[in-house]
Amino acid sequence: MAITVPFDLAYEFEVNALAPEVFEVLSDVPASASHFPKVHQLVDLGDQAYRWEMEKVGTAQMNIQTVYASRYVADKKKGTVVWTPVVGEGNAQVGGSWTITDKKKFTHLVLKISGKLEVPLPSLMKGIVTPVVVGENEKLVEKYIANLIKRFGGEH
């Protein structure tokens, strides 16, 4: 038995770095991933696809490790980095996008992430597990954003 936990996150912020530098980091998946907390391993699957293996969370008796793969497409002209799930890899499906807007002296960023995670627990646990999983995802993404803000010279 498994519980499917959907999540949908969106963030908007501005950094002091210029758009070309921001695009360079965010379009380079290993460089971008190096700012994301609790990544156990990032595996290059080729053809712009990467498998994310997160650190296990929980206790020794009961833990969850999120594993998923996404394919990335960066478009410098549009200022976007878009990723779509690679089906059949891991216990989650994750897609999303960065929209990078040049504001001349700073850069405006919009991050959207959506997906679903399969948790190997009985369905009666859904009410308890869903807010914990969503909350943990929010904390990780917010730490990722904080790390990027620091990398790009602070928030504008």
CATH number at residue 20: 3.30.530.20
Distances, alpha carbon 87 to alpha carbons 2, 56, 68, 90, in Å: 17, 21, 9, 9
Answer whether 0.85 is exceeded by the pTM.
yes
Report if residue 24 sits inside a domain: yes
Report if residue 60 sits inside a domain: yes
Report if residue 7 sits inside a domain: yes
Which residues form the domain of 104? 3-125+142-151
What pLDDT is recorded for position 100?
Answer: 98
pLDDT at 20 exceeding the cut of 90: yes
What pLDDT is recorded for position 128?
Answer: 87
| pLDDT-derived band at 61, boundaries 50, 70, 90 | low
Q: Give the DSSP letter of residue 123.
A: G
- As for how many domains the chain has, the answer is 1
What pLDDT is recorded for position 121?
Answer: 85
| pLDDT-derived band at 129, boundaries 50, 70, 90 | confident
